[in-house]
Each structure stands twice: as structure tokens, then as C-alpha cells.
């Protein structure tokens, strides 16, 4: 798929033409009474202009100055107000060249940005969804609104499954940027129905204020109002670690600190839809962070509910479910940041050697989370500590920078007490790659060398070795950093498993991994 933006491109270069500064050619003609549009040729001509390495006057260094691009200042400033301002603040060197440094931008992303700026075309064929997401972020940073908005639409309309699979990452990223209203609404439409995804997450306290406020404004947030209050207080306190742990030790200044932190949140609490007992138990201890009139009205509501009050009464939130979704710590079914219900159904069918996948409504197994890398840490020894003694486990890992989800099933116990690293024998283990985003088909690879199916590592090897399925799938760490996010591999060169689950034998990094204990439902 190629995105074409010829109208905007044409308009920008007409503005460039009408600017009477910085020209270096004068052409005298007669009878210039007719104009023509030729968008495709215009695009091709300027792509050739970009590729011509003569007459450039801008160098852009990306990827920590490991890669450089050449460009022309007039093209950049007429296509992007960001570059216009950037170039105005840079002094040229002795060769009259201005140098821009963007160390955090990848060369592939910037190459796409330049081709859009010069040619009005972005080629999205054979690119991963993460590339589209990152390109959208950089386009927004460079104030290329037309491109940013189009990519945002593509993600919502065509890549919704990827957004849901990477929900926590997407959610926090877009609210930090605060320019992606359609994506914000897309995510909030999910969160209001299933608030545990955010409010019960281990990193709730790091939620951007704008994201929290946007949820508090929603009339359809499916939570009890007193629970919302509790989470707002929790979030506010977490932003101020200097506050005393014991509320009885708080000073007037401490309450003022919390009030200031929550000044954007407090107006959106539906105070008058909280029961009297809940107001007394939950709100009263923090009454000093409320405006005096508001607390007086809440107090009056508890004692004399029929009397009129002066404060604004917000409407009760709409209840979309007859029963609110259970909190994470109350429900058996866990939410994964890596795999979906469809993935769990497919893995379950493989465990049972089924030729047809189970439906998501008929999964015979419960997936209980034992370890989450982003929650518990990526140190290899953490794996052996938390997974010791667990049998019938599924390990899944998200490959960094791609849509790939790979993993393995181990019916045996992980054992951290062996004195020598030992291969474990089983005919029922398997490794896999899951369909996801640009990955069109899942791959199942059952064990071939059953005597070398699983490796239990000794204490020494546990410093660098995580879950190890033959040489077909292994999460591994470099000795220099002892983190499983940097040195994993899916080689399978001795053919320990039937098929390779990753086309490349190179080592790769992961964003996260999870280990589930699998129980058959009674």
C-alpha cells in the first residue's frame, strides 16, 4: 500500500514558487497564460531532486549520528513548519551547510519522512505495524499533520488487533504526545468497558495525567464512583513520594501538595453519587483537598439529602453492564499484554493435538500468569525463581520492533535446583510462532529430539539462560547485562524441533515475555 498526498505537495511547492527569496534562476517567457497540473510527474521530479547529491545545504544526522541524509532547506521549510523553525535557529558551517541532529529517529523512518516531504508518497508495503505507529509519531513531531492523521486512521481501521495486543504501550504513548484524538478515543472506548486494563495494571501510577483525566470525563466509565476516587487518590499520592505513609502524620502542606497534583482530576469525580457511608469512610479523610463549599455540600448531602446544594452535581455514570466487569484480582481469567483469546484458543488446541482450533468460547484451559517480564523483571534468575516447580507452562515472547510473537509449551517442571544443567525428555513439548499483525500464519513445531526437549539450567547458567526449548526457541542474555531482552535466538540448527519458527537465525531482542501455568478447566 502506498499513500499519495499530491494535493498538499503541489500546494506547498506553489508557495515555494511564490516566495521571492533564495531564488537562483530567472526565466523570461511570453504568453504564460495557461497552467497545467501534473502531480505524478511533480512527485517523481522531486524524488529525483532528493536523490541528487548536488546543491544540498542541509545534513540530517539520525540514529546517534550513525546515518546521515542530505536535503534542501527551502524544500524542508515549505513542507514542514517544524523544519522551518528548526533551520532558522541553526547557523550554517563554513561550507554554508546547516546540520540537524535527530539521534532518536531511525534511518528507515527518516527515509520515509524525506520521501513524503519531497514526493508526497509513503510506501507501506511489507512494513510492520510498529513501523507505521513509529512513523505516525515522528510525522507528528515534525508537524506533518496530513501524514500523521492518515497513519492514525490506518492503525484504527486496519490494524486494530495490533493496537489491542500492544494496548498498554500504545495507550501511554499517545497520551504523552496528546495529538492523537482518534486513537485516544479508540483506546478509551476499550478502557471504559474494561477499566481493569489500566486501573489494575502494575504501572497504573505512571499513567499520564491527560490519560487519567480523559477517563474521568467519560460518562460511561464502568466503575463504582468510590473506586474511581480511591484510584485517583492512589495516583496522586504516587506522584509525590515525599508524602508521609501514615495519613495521620500529614500536615496542611501535605494536603495542599496532593490538592495541587489532583487539580485537573477532582472536578470530574461524581461526589454526589457516592453513598453516605463511602463518603464518610473514603472522602472525609481527604476533605482538605476539596474546596470548602464542595465538602460542606457533601456533608450536607449525608445529613440532609433533600436540601438544595450550591455545588455542581455531575450526572451519574451510565451503566452499560448489568454487572460491572470483575477486577483483575477477583477474576480467574487473566489479561495478557502479548497474546489474545484467539492465541490462547490456538495454543490450547495444540496442547490437545487437535487439528481444528478451539473457539474462544470453548477454551478447555485456564491460563494463569506466573511471570510477566515488564512487571517482574527480565533478569534470567527471576524466571528460575518464579517458575521453579511449575509444570504445563506456556512461554510467549514479543520480538522487539516486529509483530512476531513466539513461544513454547513445556509439560515438565522447570527446576532451578539441578547441580548440572540437564536436558529433559518429553514428546509433548512444542514451540510456535503466532499469527499477529503482518505475520499472516501461525507456525507449530513439535519436538523431534525428545531427549533434548527442555533444558533445566544450573545455578551458574541461570545467570544468562531463561526458558530453553532445545535450540528451537531460547530466551538468553548477554553476560554483560544479564537481561533476557537482548540476546535470544531461534536457531534450531541441530533440528531439535520439527520446524524453524523464525526465518532468521540471528539473535534478537524482546519487548516482553510472559509465562502461564495452564490448567484444564473442571
Residue with cell 460518562: 219
Topology adopted by domain 181-303: 1.25.40
| Cell numbers linked to 333 | 481469567
Which pLDDT score is estimated for 400?
A: 84
Do the domains at 2-23+35-165 and 181-303 have one common CATH topology?
no
Which pLDDT score is estimated for 375?
A: 82
Which pLDDT score is estimated for 479?
A: 64
Give residue limits of the domains in the chain. 2-23+35-165, 181-303, 332-520
Which pLDDT score is estimated for 3?
A: 58
How far, in Å, CA of 232 to CA of 209, rounded? 10
Contact in structure between 314 and 270 (CB atoms under 8 Å): yes
CATH superfamily, domain 2-23+35-165, is Potassium Channel Kv1.1; Chain A (3.30.710.10)
Which pLDDT score is estimated for 463?
A: 85
pLDDT in tens, 196-237: 888 887 778 988 898 899 999 999 898 999 999 999 999 999
| Cell numbers linked to 254 | 501535605
Contact in structure between 283 and 229 (CB atoms under 8 Å): yes
Which pLDDT score is estimated for 39?
A: 41
Which pLDDT score is estimated for 134?
A: 92
What Rg value do the Cα atoms of the chain yield, rounded?
Answer: 29
Which pLDDT score is estimated for 47?
A: 61
Helix axes of 129-141 and 167-177: crossing angle, nearest 10 degrees = 10
Q: What is the mean pLDDT of each run of 10 residues along the chain (522 residues)?
A: 50 50 45 38 57 80 83 85 90 90 90 86 86 92 90 90 83 82 89 86 86 92 93 95 93 96 96 91 94 92 85 84 45 68 93 90 90 85 90 92 91 92 94 88 93 92 89 80 69 83 79 91 78
Single pTM value for the model: 0.52
Which pLDDT score is estimated for 48?
A: 67
Neighbours of 45 (CB within 10 A): 14
Q: Express the helix, strand and coil content of the chain in percent, nearest 5 each.
A: 40, 15, 40
Which pLDDT score is estimated for 36?
A: 33
For residue 283, with 0-12 CB atoms within 10 Å meaning exposed, 13-18 middle and 19 or more buried, which class applies? buried
For residue 336, with 0-12 CB atoms within 10 Å meaning exposed, 13-18 middle and 19 or more buried, which class applies? middle
Which pLDDT score is estimated for 486?
A: 64
pLDDT in tens, 304-322: 888 888 988 888 888 765 4
Which pLDDT score is estimated for 292?
A: 92
Amino acid at each position: 500500500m502506498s499513500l499519495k498526498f499530491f494535493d498538499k505537495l503541489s500546494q506547498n511547492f506553489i508557495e515555494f514558487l511564490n516566495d521571492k527569496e533564495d531564488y537562483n534562476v530567472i526565466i523570461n517567457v511570453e504568453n504564460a497564460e495557461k497552467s497545467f497540473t501534473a502531480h505524478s510527474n511533480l512527485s517523481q521530479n522531486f524524488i529525483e531532486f532528493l536523490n541528487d547529491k548536488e546543491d544540498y545545504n542541509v545534513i540530517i544526522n539520525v540514529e546517534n549520528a550513525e546515518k546521515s541524509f542530505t536535503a534542501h532547506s527551502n524544500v524542508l521549510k515549505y513542507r514542514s513548519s517544524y523544519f522551518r523553525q528548526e533551520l532558522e535557529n541553526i547557523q550554517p558551517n563554513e561550507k554554508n551547510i546547516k546540520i540537524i541532529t535527530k539521534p532518536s529517529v531511525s534511518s528507515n523512518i527518516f527515509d520515509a519522512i524525506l520521501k513524503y516531504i519531497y514526493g508526497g508518497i509513503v510506501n507501506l508495503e511489507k512494513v510492520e505495524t510498529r513501523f507505521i505507529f513509529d512513523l505516525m509519531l515522528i510525522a507528528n513531531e515534525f508537524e506533518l499533520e496530513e501524514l500523521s492523521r492518515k497513519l492514525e486512521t490506518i492503525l484504527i481501521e486496519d490494524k486494530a488487533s495490533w493496537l489491542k495486543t500492544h494496548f498498554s504501550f500504545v495507550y501511554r504513548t499517545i497520551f504523552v504526545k496528546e495529538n492523537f484524538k482518534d486513537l485516544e478515543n479508540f483506546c478509551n472506548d476499550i478502557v471504559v468497558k474494561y477499566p481493569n486494563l489500566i486501573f489494575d495494571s502494575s504501572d497504573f501510577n505512571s499513567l499520564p495525567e491527560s490519560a487519567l483525566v480523559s477517563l474521568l470525563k467519560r460518562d460511561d466509565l464502568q466503575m463504582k464512583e468510590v473506586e474511581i476516587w480511591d484510584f485517583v487518590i492512589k495516583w496522586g499520592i504516587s506522584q509525590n513520594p515525599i508524602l508521609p505513609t501514615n495519613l495521620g502524620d500529614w500536615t496542611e502542606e501535605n494536603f495542599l501538595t496532593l490538592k495541587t497534583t489532583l487539580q485537573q482530576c477532582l472536578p470530574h469525580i461524581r461526589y454526589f453519587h457516592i453513598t453516605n457511608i463511602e463518603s464518610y469512610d473514603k472522602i472525609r479523610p481527604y476533605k482538605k483537598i476539596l474546596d470548602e463549599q464542595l465538602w460542606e455540600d457533601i456533608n450536607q448531602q449525608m445529613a440532609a439529602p433533600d436540601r438544595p446544594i450550591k455545588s455542581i452535581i455531575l450526572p451519574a455514570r451510565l451503566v452499560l453492564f448489568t454487572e460491572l466487569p470483575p477486577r483483575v484480582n477477583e477474576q480467574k481469567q487473566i489479561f495478557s499484554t502479548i497474546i489474545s483469546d484467539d492465541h490462547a484458543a490456538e495454543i490450547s488446541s495444540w496442547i490437545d493435538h487437535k487439528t481444528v482450533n478451539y473457539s474462544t468460547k470453548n477454551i478447555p484451559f485456564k491460563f494463569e500468569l506466573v511471570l510477566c517480564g515488564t512487571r517482574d523483571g527480565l533478569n534470567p534468575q527471576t524466571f528460575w525463581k518464579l517458575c521453579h516447580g511449575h509444570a504445563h507452562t506456556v512461554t510467549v515472547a514479543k520480538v522487539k520492533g516486529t509483530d512476531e510473537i513466539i513461544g513454547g509449551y513445556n509439560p515438565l517442571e522447570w527446576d532451578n535446583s539441578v547441580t548440572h544443567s540437564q536436558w529433559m525428555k518429553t514428546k509433548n513439548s512444542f514451540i510456535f510462532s503466532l499469527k499477529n499483525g503482518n505475520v499472516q500464519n501461525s507456525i507449530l513445531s513439535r519436538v523431534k529430539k525428545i531427549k533434548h526437549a527442555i533444558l533445566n539450567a544450573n545455578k551458574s547458567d541461570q545467570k544468562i539462560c531463561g526458558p530453553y526449548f532445545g535450540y528451537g526457541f531460547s530466551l538468553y542474555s548477554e553476560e554483560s547485562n544479564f537481561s533476557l531482552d537482548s540476546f535470544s535466538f531461534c536457531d534450531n540448527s541441530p533440528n531439535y524441533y520439527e520446524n524453524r519458527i523464525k526465518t532468521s537465525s540471528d539473535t534478537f531482542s524482546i519487548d516482553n515475555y510472559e509465562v502461564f501455568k495452564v490448567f484444564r478447566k473442571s
